[in-house]
Amino acid sequence: MIVKIPYSKDYHTCITEARERQAHHDAPILNDVPNLSKYEVIYIGPPVYWNNMPEEMVTVLKDIDFTGKVIRPFTTHEGSGLGNIPNQIKKYVEVLK
């Protein structure tokens, strides 16, 4: 997945950008969502941004058909662990609702 608008290299600008993209659910991606049809287990491993996944990941997840898949979440983080990401997956992955 390639973000359409790269995040700033300046940390403070970057965290503001991440917050705004999450608040407005506005995070386009450049490429098509991946075709996962031949996989049974899907690992979703975003970095934690503001206790959530980067909004670009939400953009991708909303467009994938996870019917019949096993989802295993993991993250990279600086203390939040999985944070709110399992809840986000439940919210945005239609089949888990």
Ligand X SMILES: Cc1cc2nc3c(=O)[nH]c(=O)nc-3n(C[C@H](O)[C@H](O)[C@H](O)COP(=O)(O)O)c2cc1C
Judged by the rule CB under 6 A, the positions of this chain that interact with ligand X are 14-15, 18, 47-51, 76-80
Where would I find the beta strands (DSSP E) of 22-91?
A: 41-44, 70-73
Which CB sits closer to ligand X, 18 or 61?
Answer: 18
**CB-based contacts of 45: which residues, under 8 Å, 6+ apart?**
73, 74, 75, 76
Which CB sits closer to ligand X, 2 or 40?
Answer: 2
Q: Which tokens sit at 5? A: 């608008």
Which CB sits closer to ligand X, 39 or 74?
Answer: 74
In whole angstroms, the minimum distance from the beta carbon of 26 to ligand X comes to: 15
Q: Which residue type sits at 6?
A: P
